[in-house]
Structure 1
Amino acid sequence: MKREEIENRLKELSGWELVEGKKLRKTFKFKDFRESVKFLQIIQPIADSFNHHPDVCIYYNKVLIELTTHEKGGLTELDFQLAKEIDKLSGEVK
């Protein structure tokens, strides 16, 4: 994707940032570690269905998600679609 297209698509997402010009990144905050792990369990099936898996780091009650398409060396439509789905699913953690 070209930079202009990436910047336009980024405006459609809440809280996601562009990193190194080729990754989407967002940190999600939860009540505790258990909720952080549950969040990953919730997003795992959708990532599998997309056959597109995020890079993830857990910091107790925070989950950092990074999306990029490694095969393309940058962002694709799939990254933006998965980011939207992850945002929707983040509200399901209880």
Structure 2
Amino acid sequence: MTALLNEAQITSQLSDLPGWTREGTELVGVFVFKQYLDGVAFAGRVGEAAEAANHHPEMLIGWRKVTVRVSTHSAGGLTELDFALARRANELAGE
């Protein structure tokens, strides 16, 4: 099992993760796009990265925006896996 991060670790990593907030035991990122299909394509790229990492976020595709929620449910909170996927989503948003 992946180890839970403590509050200091979460705060530190969140400060280096632009565009993400913490809601309880989840990291939440909202990505805005010029066109609906840009968001759909982004969600597909995040899905591929998540599958490769075997760490699957919840994603909501809306009109020109995608909300991504990550948490390590098996650990009961936030782990390094969540922050790694959030950083990867930020990278993929720029592609």
TM-score (norm 1): 0.92
Q: How many residues align?
A: 91
Which of 43, 58, 62 is 1:59 aligned to? Answer: 62
User: Is 1:40 matched with 2:36?
Assistant: no
User: Is 1:85 matched with 2:88?
Assistant: yes
Answer whether contact 2:43 2:61 (CA < 8 A) is retained: no
Letter aligned with residue 8 of structure 1: S
Distance 1:31 1:53 in 2: 25
Letter aligned with residue 63 of structure 2: Y
Q: Gaps (5+ residues) in structure 2? A: none
Deviation at 1:56, TM superposition (A): 0.7
Q: Gaps (5+ residues) in structure 1? A: none
What is the percentage of aligned positions where both structures have the same residue? 37
Which of 6, 9, 12 is 1:5 aligned to? Answer: 9
Q: CA RMSD in A?
A: 0.9
TM-score (norm 2): 0.91
Secondary structure of 2:74's aligned partner: helix
